[in-house]
Amino acid sequence: MQVGGRVSAGSRQYYTAAELAELNLPGLSRAKRKINERALDERWALKTDAAGMPLARPRQGRGGGLEYHLQLLPAAARLELVKRGLVGAVATDVDLNAQPAHCRSWAWLEAQSSAVKAEAQKRAAIVASVEAFEAGGLTRSAAIGCAAADAGIATSTIWNWLDLINGVERANRLPHLAPRRKGGGAEAAVDDDAWRFFLSDYLRPERPTLSSCYDRLVRDFAAPRGIEIPHRKTLQRKLEREVDGRVIIAKREGAEALRRTLPPQQRTVAGMHAMELVNIDGHKFDVFVRFADGRIGRPLMIATQDIYSRKILSWRIGETESAVLTRLAFADLFKTYGIPRGCLLDNGRAFASKWITGGAKTRFRFKIKEEEPTGLLIALGVKPHWATPHRGQSKPIERAFRDLCDTIAKHPAFAGAYTGNKPDAKPENYGSKAIPIDVFQAGVERGIAAHNAKQGRRTETARGVSFDAVFEASYQRSPIGRATEEQLRMALLMADETRADRQSGAITLHGNKYWSPEISALAGQKVTIRFDPDDLTLPVHVYDKAGRFLASAGVLAQTGFLDAASAGARARQEREIKKLIRRKEEILDLIDATDLAAMLPAHEDEEPVPMPTVLRPVRHRGQTAAALKHAQADEQPNPSFMDRFSDAVPRLRIVD
């Protein structure tokens, strides 16, 4: 405390009501209750010093309450404290801090709410209007009356404000004019066991309401134990004051909700180029379609997107998310744009399959074995980057899927087939229509083309242009790996084992015939073919049982019965195959049959076959034996006794 330019050490400036009662000071009651009543009547909690600082403060320690400054005590009580040496001197204007009063006042105002600051601004404006009226020649009373009438407040209110800023510089008026309303009293005590019961009930994943938890606390826990529970609002304020809001979110809403309290991660693609990194994911459309076999369901699309430009590069549509659909989407990507350096994908079965990422040491699905086959991406040098599952922010393609939900699924051409994006959002015409799968695929192709070509994109790289423009500008000047024919064949996953035609070697698949001169030699053999199941007009690739590539065969289109052009093409094929076989014969350099016979030694007379020295009798039984006997009898004009006896034996019978 500063007194006469010096600071008295060890002096105490604040006392509680209980401490004042124990000191037994003149002018004050000896009962704590009476001192509290006097403090309430005289509004000690609202009093401030000349600098505008409050003269009452919360007590630090268990139990709470308020402490009161010496300036609030009667003069006799203050003098008694000086006599007892508890304070250095009697002072009415006390500078509690070494810093100037206006600095403390501005620091206090800065910590207040926007409502308090707005009220201070309003009061300062009214005081300024009073001074303006005075400058116009009005007296202070008349000026206050005019300002009060304009503001719609009482003149006494303005007089009070003027008292607050009496002697204060104009630049430091705002903190003194700010309202200093304070709540009174301390929070009611809450039993520790009851509070623990309340928290355990409220902080559950079932997310019960605070009112129901309070009712159970009072009815089922406190009442049988005779515990008094304060008002529900008291418990609510205690909950907000003592329990971190993030704990409430984690316990009631889960870890994902807690994660959302963090600001989203800001990632840049400034140092990348087109096809450096792509991401792939699946999206199930909210549309009913009719598949080729007549079944009705919701189609699923697997699509790839360039991370740098956000352009959708390739896509395939099927019934379910599978490694087959994923591999075909990659095949389209490799064929049209080339091979990217990396791919961002999650650990779904369609993407973490050994067919796709087998051999990757960081695959987070299935057991990784040293001898497992190399997947498509690993074989082509595409580095997989694993995204966090169920985290839409990790994959930019999720943002594109959200746009396609509106531009494709809700397109007028698919009216009546839209299912809604959740069970309680079904449209009125739900299930009234199913779109043929080929019509839907054509609509998806148009929708994706429009999505890529839309102008005014506001991504980091687009800046007002389309995804197509960003991709093309970067693609032309970036190093892109081109896919070879062998790599494209590797990407085609659909495989079938069949037997080539026994005469021509042609291959029959889903009603189509495929043939090329190279597969003629495979006639009658079992082979494995790889093909694109969505476009059977493309050539099929033929492999042997060991997996070695043999040849490719194009589809044989059906022709008209009198189609002269097709007949001419057929004749050319026949001439070509004859030429091919003739060239192969010339390569073999075969020997003429006449020359071959001349190279063989002459045949000598054949010696007679020697007769065996031991003969094994062969007996015939049944009707065949009888027939043989008759035939032999006919051939022998003078049969022997044994022959006649053998011939008679079958005709013998038993006589009683």
Secondary structure string (H, E, C) spanning 458-517: CCCCCCCCCHHHHHHHHHCCCCCECCCHHHHHHHCCCEEEEECCCCCCCEEECCEEEECH
Q: For tokens 């009093």, name the residue.
A: 47
Cβ atoms of 199 and 217 within 8 Å: the answer is no
Residue 150 CA to residue 144 CA, distance in Å, equals 10
pLDDT at 648: 66
Residue 73 CA to residue 25 CA, distance in Å, equals 10
> Strand ranges (DSSP E) for 333-464?
342-345, 383-386, 435-436
pLDDT at 96: 35
Handedness of CA 159, 163, 166, 168 (dihedral sign): negative
State if pTM tops 0.85: no
Residue 240 CA to residue 219 CA, distance in Å, equals 23
pLDDT at 623: 53
Residue 597 CA to residue 25 CA, distance in Å, equals 148
Tokens of 488: 């494209």
Starting at the edge strand that comes first in sequence, how are the strands of the sheet with 435-436 ordered? 296-297, 289-290, 435-436
Q: Beta-carbon neighbour count of residue 419 at 10 Å?
A: 17
Say whether 23 sits in a helix, a strand or coil. Answer: helix
Residue 113 CA to residue 181 CA, distance in Å, equals 12
- Per-residue pLDDT of 22-78, as tens digits, reads 888 888 888 888 888 888 888 888 888 777 788 888 887 777 788 888 888 886 677
pLDDT at 554: 86
Cβ atoms of 164 and 175 within 8 Å: the answer is no
Half-sphere exposure of 364 (CA within 13 A, CB side): 10
Which strand (E) or helix (H) includes residue 6? strand 6-7
Residues of the chain falling short of pLDDT 50 = 1-10, 88-99, 359, 363-366, 368-374, 559-564
Cβ atoms of 544 and 550 within 8 Å: the answer is yes
Look at phi and psi of residue 563 and say left if phi exceeds 0, alpha if psi is from -120 to 50, else beta.
Answer: beta
Contacts of 340 (CB under 8 A, 6+ apart): 275, 276, 277, 278, 333, 382, 481
